[in-house]
Amino acid sequence: MELIFNGIRGAIELILGANPDVAEIAARSVRVSGMATLIASTWSLPAGLAIGLYSFKGKGLLKSLFNSMLGIPTVVLGLILYLLLVPSGPLGFLGLIYTEMGISFGQALLITPIIISFVTTSIESVEKEVRELAKTLGAGRFDASIAVMRETMAGVVLSIIAAFNRAVAELGVAIMIGGNVFVRGSALNTRVLTTAIQMYTSRGDIEMAIALGIILLLIVFVVSMVLNFLQSRFA
């Protein structure tokens, strides 16, 4: 218990003292995962809307595929991406290995099923009722689709927030693609909260590990509070 109490006390001192390493790692985590969420949203939101709004052959199979991918182990995805992105790999020419953008790209692939599945489910939960009501009021097919999307805005917001929380809290992709590189004063830094927590814990630096863990929990908590606020606005 003494180890825990001393670790928590030291962690609080690091946070209140605005330790530069803690601040830099936290800022990088938010930046990398925020970029991942933005990238994933560019293709996931249109895909989720299309799957939810339209009927086509193989729709059920496609939905099952994305639902099954929700639980993909991050370390497996990290391994696959590593083999693809290393200089000798088929995508090595992109130069993404051991870079912030590489982590963002990997996290974007990880959270794609989350956004698509959430958006599709939200649309299907109101699609038939809202579409029929809109058509009854004289709306065309396009206008009816717009009405459905408006009604599912809360679900869209939920999907984006859930995707960000998943990205910022994952470890496998971040450590295998980013490599947990840290060179003080250099732009070649890929250390994020999860990889740093793992490293400091293995080193026995419990104070630093707890400080970073507290910050990670605070980020997830704040993002969730924002979600609750936005959902209340769209309700």
> What number is the average pLDDT over the span 136-147?
56
pTM of the model: 0.87
Tokens coding 198 = 């793992």
Most confident of 75-89, 115-129, 170-184: 75-89
Say how far apart CA 74 and CA 135 lie, in whole Å. 44
Task: Give the other-Cβ count within 10 Å of 119's Cβ.
Answer: 27
Closest CA to 21 of 207, 218, 158, 204: 207
Tell me if 103 sits within 8 A of 192, measured CB to CB. Answer: yes
As its CATH architecture, domain 2-234 has: Orthogonal Bundle (1.10)
**pLDDT at 136 exceeding the cut of 60:** no
Closest CA to 193 of 34, 7, 80, 27: 27
For 40-99, write each residue's pLDDT tens digit: 999 998 898 888 877 888 888 888 888 888 888 999 999 999 999 999 999 999 999 999
